[in-house]
């Protein structure tokens, strides 16, 4: 009887974690470039009371087993693209494809993001392209991007190439820099760091320059990628998790009542 108590308790813990994940998705429904998460579960150890076997005079075609509940094993992020929302800011950029922008964090490490709401940061070296936290946006060679001319003279090509109009001739010229876009063999392995940033690791593989892939991405200027969270879908998941939590709590209550009934048999 005690097994049912612990099994139901594991179910309640798993559903609580699921609700935590769903709540985080709903909280970030308006976060630029946010990718929704989903909790994944595995069943726990099984006790085999009798094994299936086939004998000459006797056989048992099925096993007799009982499980010990469920455990949360992973959170999987859905990197499907969100809707593109048009803005009036030239420095707003959205990626059409699987690539990520790159920024350099305060610790000097390179991080990746789908949030293209970039700003101009004033530094001792000049006007630098940064994200909302002031981290420098990097080009394809990992170099900071400085805007030496008036902002109105710059144009970002779909390939990420940074162009500007010569103030004297009005002819479009290249700066020689491209907005850094990179892809990963396993983006699911990216570690979310907060601030719309992801960190690569051994599970993701090396960052691959987007232009070197078979399906290069493009940049849409004057657009931002919205969150890919679907509110109705998350609400359905929330209700399902809540009902499962209630059922597991009911199993604990029922097990407790059965234990009380068994104890009363001695009286």
Q: Which residues pair with 220 in a beta bridge?
A: 94
Structure confidence at residue 1 as a pLDDT band (50, 70, 90)? low
Read off the pLDDT of residues 73-99 as tens digits, 9 standing for 90 and up: 999 999 999 999 999 998 999 999 999
DSSP output for 146-207: B--S-GGGEEE-TT-EEEEE-TTT--EEEEEEEB-EEE-S-GGGPEEEETTEEE--TTT---
Check whether residue 90 and residue 37 sit in a common domain: no
Count helices and strands in the chain by DSSP H and E runs: 2, 21
Give this prediction's pTM.
0.87
User: 235 and 219 in one domain?
Assistant: no
Residues 8 and 24 occupy one common structural domain: yes
Residues 237 and 209 in one domain: no
Residues 247 and 117 in one domain: no
Which range marks the domain in which residue 233 is found? 2-78+229-264
Looking at the structure, do residues 173 and 97 belong to the same domain, yes or no?
yes
CA dihedral sign, ordered 146, 151, 152, 156:
positive
> What torsion, rounded to 10 degrees, do the Cα atoms 124, 126, 127, 130 define?
-50
Q: Does 49 share its domain with 98?
A: no
Report the Cα 232 to chain-centroid distance in Å. Answer: 19
Say if residue 89 is in the same domain as residue 34.
Answer: no
Is residue 230 helix, strand or coil?
Answer: coil
Residue 57 has pLDDT above 90, yes or no: no
- For 196-218, how does the pLDDT look when each residue is reduced to its tens digit (9 = 90+)? 999 999 999 999 999 999 999 99
Q: Which residues, 6 or more positions from 179, have their beta carbon under 8 angstroms from its beta carbon? A: 93, 101, 137, 139, 140, 145, 156, 160, 162, 219
By DSSP bridging, strand 218-221 and strand 93-96 are: antiparallel
Is the domain of 235 the same as that of 200?
A: no
Domain count, the chain: 2
Q: Are residues 241 and 191 in the same domain?
A: no
Mind listing the pLDDT tens digit for each residue in 140-187?
999 999 988 888 888 899 999 999 887 777 787 888 899 999 999 999
Q: Are residues 120 and 132 in the same domain?
A: yes
């Amino acid at each position: 009887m005690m097994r049912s108590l612990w099994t139901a308790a594991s179910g309640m813990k798993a559903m609580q974690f699921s609700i935590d994940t769903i709540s985080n998705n709903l909280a970030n429904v308006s976060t630029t470039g946010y990718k929704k998460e989903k909790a994944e579960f595995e069943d726990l150890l099984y006790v085999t009371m009798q094994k299936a076997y086939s004998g000459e005079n006797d056989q048992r075609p099925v096993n007799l087993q009982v499980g010990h509940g469920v455990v949360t094993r992973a959170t999987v992020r859905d990197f499907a693209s969100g809707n593109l929302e048009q803005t009036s800011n030239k420095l707003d950029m959205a990626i059409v494809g699987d690539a990520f922008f790159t920024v350099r964090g305060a610790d000097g490490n390179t991080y990746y993001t789908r949030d293209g709401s970039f700003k101009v940061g004033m530094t001792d070296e000049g006007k630098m392209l940064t994200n909302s936290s002031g981290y420098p946006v990097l080009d394809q060679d990992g170099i900071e991007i400085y805007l030496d001319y008036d902002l109105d003279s710059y144009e970002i090509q779909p390939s990420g190439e940074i162009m500007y109009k010569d103030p004297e001739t009005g002819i479009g010229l290249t700066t020689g820099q491209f907005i850094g876009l990179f892809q990963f063999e396993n983006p699911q392995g990216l570690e979310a760091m907060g601030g719309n940033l992801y960190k690569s690791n051994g599970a993701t593989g090396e960052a691959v320059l987007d232009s070197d892939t078979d399906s290069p991405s493009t940049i849409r200027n004057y657009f931002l990628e919205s969150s890919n969270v679907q509110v109705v879908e998350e609400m359905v998941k929330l209700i399902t998790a809540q009902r499962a939590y209630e059922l597991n709590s009911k199993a604990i209550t029922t097990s407790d009542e059965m234990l009380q009934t068994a104890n009363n048999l001695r009286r």
